[in-house]
């Protein structure tokens, strides 16, 4: 019948009357590892129960008595009825006996402790066959040889027995020894489990214990240890105190990876050549292989990145120089990744991987090198890289700062007051930037945390400045530096309040601007500005001095003015004082000099002395003199269009004999001669005198061809080309020199549509430039190098900025987008530092200062002087590296401005 057993006859109280468990009614034979439970009770006159059982072989028998309601004891008797093991727990605590027994007959005796009342009980019986191997392996010298572990022989398992207690005749085995060695270094894992009682585990060598695991009870025991070649190792399994148990012993061996990295710098593994792509290397370090060296060589400076990833235990990383001196190390704990980043110069270097204290670990090493280019920016203020004058075009520099280059210095200049813009981006690590003045004083710093873009934006006056880029702490950073400067317009307010000083006659002399203006108190006077300050130079005849016609001759400023005593005459300012040059029309009468023109050291002009009418005059630096009375008597020849051509003066004048014709003069009466184009007292009416190289171009009417372009060269005047058929009355205009060519507009077919033409001085070389320019044609011409800029009209864009060069003629940009009436009407065009500056209106209907490099993208608004209306920039005048002009904020009136 199956266990548990109950309701059976009461077991006897002697061995002779004991309940026989071997009966077929119960176990049916000897004990096995199947638990058999017998349920019964003790009490009253029945205070003792005895059960008989047998073991068929040497066994470890377990007897357990539980389910007690009163105190009862448990005894194990041999076949003779003698006590061999006892369990006498107090109270109702379960009783337990574990005994190492030989094959035979035994008795379990259950007794109710005197004075105790009745109790039920459960008696369980089981037997575990002793798994004794029978080997003579109780000492190190007789250890069982389990052979050699290797990369192919990696495990060993066995079941055996150890015990140091038991009944008479029971198996005793106080220790089991196993021995082995290894073909290559590696890690052994030893596990002792399947325990029924306490047993202990040790790993030994010939000198004694290397490592042990002494757990209590049946807890699993384990050892993990790195083994070396050439050593005999021993495993010892021993029972705990008065213990007997079968056990399961498992050994598992893992070979170390092949040691590719040498243990010295001499034997270091060569991992050349490092590149920007990280190369990966796997290896192993432990107490036997505690140095792994790698070597690499750098042909040039580079940023080296090293990453060490331990697999199972702590390992550390070092970077060494060619002499094995430490440069940098990373010693993270556990399996945390170690990392080194360092900029290095050309040379030989070593990487060292070591195990943490007592650690054994596989690892992965990754190494890369990013080339650092030639250093563009020196590392001192005094040797800073000169990047020149900044403009609106962004300059970009790519470089590096770090261990090998702790500072990058750049030097730049500003020709004008400017809005300075700096961006430091593309950072691979934390780098900072400073703006420094020419005295080495820091103006502004940007030092954000991490690889975040740094920026500096500030307004600067003209001058020299420096930029310093530097790493933050130990950072190693590639960077991109972007710098630019846009001109900032600055007002030089001459007349406070809303009134206008109306600056006029803007004229450059050396690095200063001379001009006339009215400060509201002294009337129109002579002024000067260096772009920062403004100075009134005269206070003569307040309200009526009215200087005009400012002209520079030999670093002196000549002009016309009225001192209230001698009328309007020629004056000079020599840098200190202003004084009258000569009283050509004596006393208070005015000679009204005009058309002041410099030819060599002479200043030519037209004036009226009150006797000869308005004629040609010359001032040679000492005296003023009438050159020639061209229209004899009191009548005026009205010289005009005075033009210097290679040191010779050309102009137009009238007398009854020749009419209005072209003249030339060397400053003497005899050297002043007419160039009579239309003979017989009729006028050719020359106009628009323009010099191209050594050739004088002008417009004239010979009475046959109408008004056309003429030239005077090699002592002769000639018609360039009869562009417009017939005796037209509407001739060429806006004659402008561009390189060796002359540009102009004309109506070639009398359809009242103006066209753009150019000429090289020959008939065949005089051609229409573009058929797309019609209507009012082109005007406001300005040459910048070999390119002609101008204002022109077409039906698609209205009046906008155009350009013409050797390759094409086209709109530069439709500033006020769309067709007429959306006209930007560019005006006051000037060449400033190689770019075109001009006034124009845009969609906001505000007229401001603009600039252009000849492309649509490079054409942009420079100023925002009047945010709510028209600033009306005008009289744009270049003085050295500054641009002066007049404009209004809408609040301050028309004043002088500068960029």
Backbone torsion region of residue 406, taken as left when φ is above 0, otherwise alpha when ψ lies between -120 and 50, otherwise beta: alpha
Locate 642 and state its tokens: 């005075």
Q: Do 547-685 and 25-129 fall under one CATH topology? A: no
17-71 confidence digits (pLDDT tens): 999 999 999 999 999 999 999 999 999 999 999 999 999 999 999 999 999 999 9
Between CA 158 and CA 131 the distance in angstroms is 10
The CATH number of domain 269-371, selected from 1.20.210.10, 3.40.440.10, 2.60.120.380, 2.102.10.10: 2.60.120.380
Using alpha carbons, select from 544, 494, 548, 551 the residue that is nearest to residue 516. Answer: 548
Per-residue tokens: 756: 């753009």
Q: What Cα–Cα distance (Å) separates residue 849 from each residue in 1, 419, 420, 823, 881?
A: 115, 15, 19, 15, 17
Helix (H) or strand (E) holding 871: none
- Domain 381-487 belongs to what architecture? Sandwich (2.60)
The list of the chain residues with pLDDT below 70 reads: 1, 729
Mean residue pLDDT across the chain: 94
Question: Using CA atoms, how far apart are residues 388 and 408, in angstroms rounded to an integer?
Answer: 16
Residue 872 near residue 847 (C-beta atoms within 8 A): yes
Q: State how far Cα 578 lies from the chain centre.
A: 58
Backbone angles phi, psi at 381, to 5 degrees: -60, -45
> What per-residue confidence (pLDDT) applies to 13?
95
pTM of the entire predicted model: 0.60
CA distance 268 to 265: 5
* C-alpha span between 506 and 533 (Å, rounded): 15
Q: Which fold has domain 547-685?
A: Methylamine Dehydrogenase; Chain H (2.130.10)
pLDDT in tens, 373-383: 999 999 999 99
The DSSP output letter for 314 is -
- Angle among Cα 319, 449, 339 to the nearest 5 degrees reads 20
Beta strands 766-770; 755-759: pairing state: antiparallel
- Name beta bridge partners: 316: 354
Distance CA 508, CA 576 (A): 17
Q: Residue 15 gets which letter from DSSP?
A: T
What would be the CATH architecture of the domain defined by 140-255?
Sandwich (2.60)
Which pLDDT does position 749 carry in this prediction? 85
Buried/exposed 653-676: b ≥16 CB within 10 Å, e otherwise: bbbeebbbbbbbbbbeeeebeebb
Q: Are 879 and 832 in contact (CB under 8 A)?
A: no
Residue 865 in contact with residue 889, Cβ under 8 Å?
A: yes
Is residue 299 left, alpha or beta, with left meaning phi > 0 and alpha meaning psi from -120 to 50?
alpha
The CATH code that applies to domain 25-129 is: 2.60.120.380
Query: Cα separation of 303 and 674, whole Å?
Result: 79
What is the per-residue pLDDT for 1?
Answer: 56
Establish how many alpha carbons lie within 13 A of residue 822's alpha carbon, considering only the half-sphere containing its beta carbon: 13
With vertex at residue 185, the alpha carbon angle to CA 181 and CA 191, rounded to the nearest 5 degrees, is: 65
Please give the pLDDT value at position 729. Answer: 63
The strand pairing partners of 599, in sequence order, are: 602
Chain centre distance of CA 73: 86
Q: What residue spans define the domains of the chain?
A: 25-129, 140-255, 269-371, 381-487, 547-685, 687-769
Distance (Å, whole) CA 441 – CA 468 = 12
Structure tokens at 659: 């009419």
d(CA 106, CA 30) in angstroms, rounded, equals 10
Look up residue 656 and give its two tokens.
């009854």
């Amino acid at each position: 019948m199956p266990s548990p057993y109950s309701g059976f006859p009461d077991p006897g109280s002697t061995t002779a009357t004991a309940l026989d468990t071997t009966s077929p009614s119960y176990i049916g034979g000897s004990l096995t590892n199947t638990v058999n439970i017998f349920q019964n009770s003790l009490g009253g006159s029945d205070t003792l129960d005895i059960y008989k059982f047998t073991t068929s072989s040497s066994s470890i028998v377990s007897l357990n008595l539980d389910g007690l309601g009163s105190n009862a004891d448990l005894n194990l008797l041999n076949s003779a009825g003698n006590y061999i093991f006892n369990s006498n727990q107090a109270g109702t605590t379960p009783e337990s006996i574990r005994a190492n027994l030989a094959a035979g007959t035994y008795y379990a005796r259950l007794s109710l402790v005197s004075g105790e009342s009745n109790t039920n009980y459960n008696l369980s019986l089981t037997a575990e066959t002793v798994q004794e191997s029978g080997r003579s392996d109780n000492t190190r010298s007789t250890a069982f040889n389990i052979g050699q572990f290797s990369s192919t022989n990696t495990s060993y398992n066995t079941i055996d027995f150890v015990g140091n207690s038991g009944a008479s005749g029971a198996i005793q085995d106080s220790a089991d020894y196993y021995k082995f060695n290894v073909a290559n270094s590696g890690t052994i894992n030893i596990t002792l489990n399947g325990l029924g009682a306490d047993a202990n585990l040790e790993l030994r060598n010939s000198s004694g214990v290397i490592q042990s695991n002494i757990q209590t009870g049946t807890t699993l025991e384990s050892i993990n240890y790195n083994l070396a070649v050439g050593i005999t190792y021993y495993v010892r399994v021993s029972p705990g105190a008065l213990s007997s148990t079968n056990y399961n012993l498992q050994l598992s061996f893992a070979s170390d990876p092949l040691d590719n990295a040498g243990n010295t710098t001499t034997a270091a593994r060569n991992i050349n050549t490092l590149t920007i792509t990280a190369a990966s290397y796997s290896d192993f370090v432990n107490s036997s292989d505690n140095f792994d060296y790698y070597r690499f060589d750098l042909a040039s400076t580079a940023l080296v990145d090293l990453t060490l990833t331990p697999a199972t235990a702590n390992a550390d990383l070092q970077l060494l120089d060619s002499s094995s001196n430490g440069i940098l190390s990373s010693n993270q704990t556990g399996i945390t990744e170690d990392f080194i980043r360092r900029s290095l110069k050309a040379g030989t270097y070593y990487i060292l991987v070591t195990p943490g204290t007592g650690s054994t670990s596989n690892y992965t090493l990754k190494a890369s090198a990013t080339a650092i280019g030639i250093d563009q920016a020196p590392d001192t203020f005094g040797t800073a890289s000169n990047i020149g004058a900044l403009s609106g075009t962004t300059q970009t520099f790519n470089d590096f700062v770090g261990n090998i280059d702790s500072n990058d210095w750049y030097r730049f200049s500003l020709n004008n007051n400017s809005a300075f813009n700096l961006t430091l981006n593309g950072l691979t690590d934390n780098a900072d930037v400073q703006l420094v003045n020419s005295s080495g004083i820091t103006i502004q710093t940007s030092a954000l945390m991490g690889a975040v873009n740094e920026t500096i934006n500030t307004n600067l006056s003209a001058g020299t400045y420096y930029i310093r880029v530097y790493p933050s702490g130990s950072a190693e950073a590639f960077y991109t530096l972007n710098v630019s400067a846009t001109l900032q317009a600055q007002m030089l307010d001459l007349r406070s309040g809303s009134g206008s000083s109306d600056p006029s006659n803007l004229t450059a002399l050396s690095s200063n601007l001379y001009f006339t203006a009215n400060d509201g108190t002294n009337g129109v006077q002579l002024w000067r500005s260096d772009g920062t300050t403004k100075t009134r130079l005269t206070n003569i005849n307040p309200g009526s001095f009215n200087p005009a016609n400012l002209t520079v001759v030999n670093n002196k400023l000549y002009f016309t003015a009225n001192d209230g005593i001698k009328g309007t005459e020629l004056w000079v300012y020599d840098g200190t004082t202003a004084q009258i040059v000569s009283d050509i029309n004596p006393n208070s009468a005015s000679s009204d000099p005009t058309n002041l023109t410099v030819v060599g050291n002479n200043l030519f002009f037209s004036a009226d002395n009150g006797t000869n009418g308005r004629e040609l005059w010359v001032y040679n630096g000492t005296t003023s003199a009438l050159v020639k009375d061209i229209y004899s008597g009191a009548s005026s020849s009205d010289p005009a269009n005075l033009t210097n051509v290679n040191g010779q003066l050309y102009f137009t004048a009238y007398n009854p004999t020749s009419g209005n014709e072209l003249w030339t003069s060397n400053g003497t009466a005899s050297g002043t001669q007419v160039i009579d184009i239309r003979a017989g007292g009729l006028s050719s009416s020359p106009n628009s005198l323009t010099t191209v190289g050594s050739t004088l171009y002008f417009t004239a009417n010979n009475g046959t061809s109408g008004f056309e372009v003429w030239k005077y060269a090699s002592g002769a005047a000639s018609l360039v080309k009869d562009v417009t058929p017939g005796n037209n009355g509407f001739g060429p205009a806006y004659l402008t020199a561009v390189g060796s060519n002359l540009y102009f507009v004309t109506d070639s077919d009398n359809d009242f549509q103006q066209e753009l033409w150019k000429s090289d001085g020959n008939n065949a070389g005089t051609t229409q430039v573009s058929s797309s320019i019609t209507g009012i044609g082109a005007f406001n011409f300005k040459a910048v190098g070999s390119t002609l800029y101008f204002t022109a009209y077409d039906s698609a864009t209205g009046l906008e900025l155009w350009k013409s060069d050797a390759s094409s003629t086209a709109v530069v940009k439709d500033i006020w987008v769309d067709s007429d009436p959306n006209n930007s009407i560019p005006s006051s065009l000037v060449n400033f530092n190689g770019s075109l500056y001009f006034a124009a209106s845009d969609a906001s209907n505000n007229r401001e200062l603009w600039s252009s490099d000849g492309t649509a993208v490079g054409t942009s608004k420079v100023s925002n002087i009047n945010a709510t209306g028209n600033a009306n920039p005008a009289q744009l005048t270049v003085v050295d590296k500054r641009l002066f002009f007049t404009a209004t904020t809408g609040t301050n009136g028309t004043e002088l401005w500068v960029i």
